[in-house]
Amino acid sequence: MNRILFSILGVVGICLFSVLGVKKETSKQSYEFKKVEDAVLASGSLLRLTDYESENITPRPVDVWLPENYSEHQKYKVLYMHDGQNLFDSTTTWNKREWKVDEWLTKLTSEEKMNDIIVVGIHNIPKLRWQDLFPEKAFEYMPDQVRDSLLEAGREAKLNLDFRGDEYLKFIVKELKPQIDAQFSTQKDENYVAGSSMGGLMSMYAMVEYPDVFKGAGCLSTHWVGALPTNPNPFPEAIFKYMEDNLTEAEGNKFYFDYGDKTLDKYYPKFAPRVDAIFKAKGYSEDNFKNLYFEGTKHSEESWNKRLDQPFTFLFGKP
């Protein structure tokens, strides 16, 4: 048993890693987002706070993308995205690939398919990515013996078991969002969240934990496996039971999921019927829930950027 649990935990970090100046005072600290002058963008401006100090998680860079015609006289919806260093500029990413967020938003707004939005990109810290993005309360839905054996195997392997999913969300909701609302021209009650793989799991988790804060989630290639795709694997069932108990009834919030069938995505199609059933039982319909299959696509930025119009128009499309 412990050999299986070790294989689930031991390589998970390696497997899942790969994936205008503004300044205002707050009562506690002053944060300054500085324009990234050499950012290669389709349009708009990229601002960065290099080390965003937090009481909840390890400090990290946070980016803010503003649309080309950003104006203080207009209020904008805000999309919070995980893995922020991979969103805008492939010249600075580890694999020279990007989501092309700015390209898609420029195209969709120019075609009048959606209005301008602000995007906040929260950088990951590779060695902490799994711990930060795992839906922490799902552990409570594992049988006690399985959970205890899993954690014991991790301790024996000297792995970092300091899961911070709840703290990561507190950082976004309690620390980051107030700063974004204070420094930029936002619609304070129009917040959305998106990511891929573990970031897809965390986006789902954010919506379930804070349904009054976030109105929509874009979850691409959601990593329902939870860790490494081994058999047996206690993570998927724990995640689904958490969702069954905590997902609110459909009341206007939107969930977008998708998956492919190549590389790591090949493990996801079998979970689609379970995800569909959970949302159907809560009263969701095609108006506020999608779970799309993209045949022949991989677990990569290249695959995600080819279909990014789908979550954007679903979450932000004009009526």
CA 31, chain centre distance (Å): 23
* Residue 187 three-state SS: strand
Superfamily for domain range 2-316? Alpha/Beta hydrolase fold, catalytic domain (3.40.50.1820)
User: Which tens digit of pLDDT belongs to each residue from 2-21?
Assistant: 444 444 554 444 344 444 44
- What is the secondary structure of 88-146 as a DSSP string? S-GGGSTTS----HHHHHHHHHHTTSB--EEEEEE---GGGHHHHHS-GGGGGGS-HHH
pLDDT of 136: 96
Domain borders along the chain are 2-316
User: Which tens digit of pLDDT belongs to each residue from 85-122?
Assistant: 999 998 888 788 889 999 999 999 999 999 999 999 99
Percentage of the chain beyond pLDDT 70 is 91
pLDDT of 301: 93
Q: Which strand (E) or helix (H) includes residue 217?
A: strand 214-220
71 φ, ψ to 5°? Answer: -140, 140
For residue 40, pLDDT beyond 90: yes
CA 186, chain centre distance (Å): 20
User: Which tens digit of pLDDT belongs to each residue from 209-237?
Assistant: 999 999 999 999 999 999 988 888 999 99
For residues 29 and 248, give the distance between their C-alpha atoms in angstroms, rounded to a whole number: 35
pLDDT of 28: 55
Burial class (CB in 10 A: 0-12, 13-18, 19+), 159: middle
Average pLDDT on 60-76 reads 97
pLDDT of 16: 45
For residue 30, pLDDT beyond 90: no
Give the chain's radius of gyration (CA, Å): 19
User: Which tens digit of pLDDT belongs to each residue from 252-299?
Assistant: 899 999 999 999 999 999 999 999 999 999 999 999 999 999 999 999
pLDDT of 3: 44
For residues 288 and 203, give the distance between their C-alpha atoms in angstroms, rounded to a whole number: 15
Say which residues have a Cβ less than 8 Å from residue 128's Cβ, sequence separation at least 6. Answer: 58, 160, 164
For residues 22 and 301, give the distance between their C-alpha atoms in angstroms, rounded to a whole number: 30
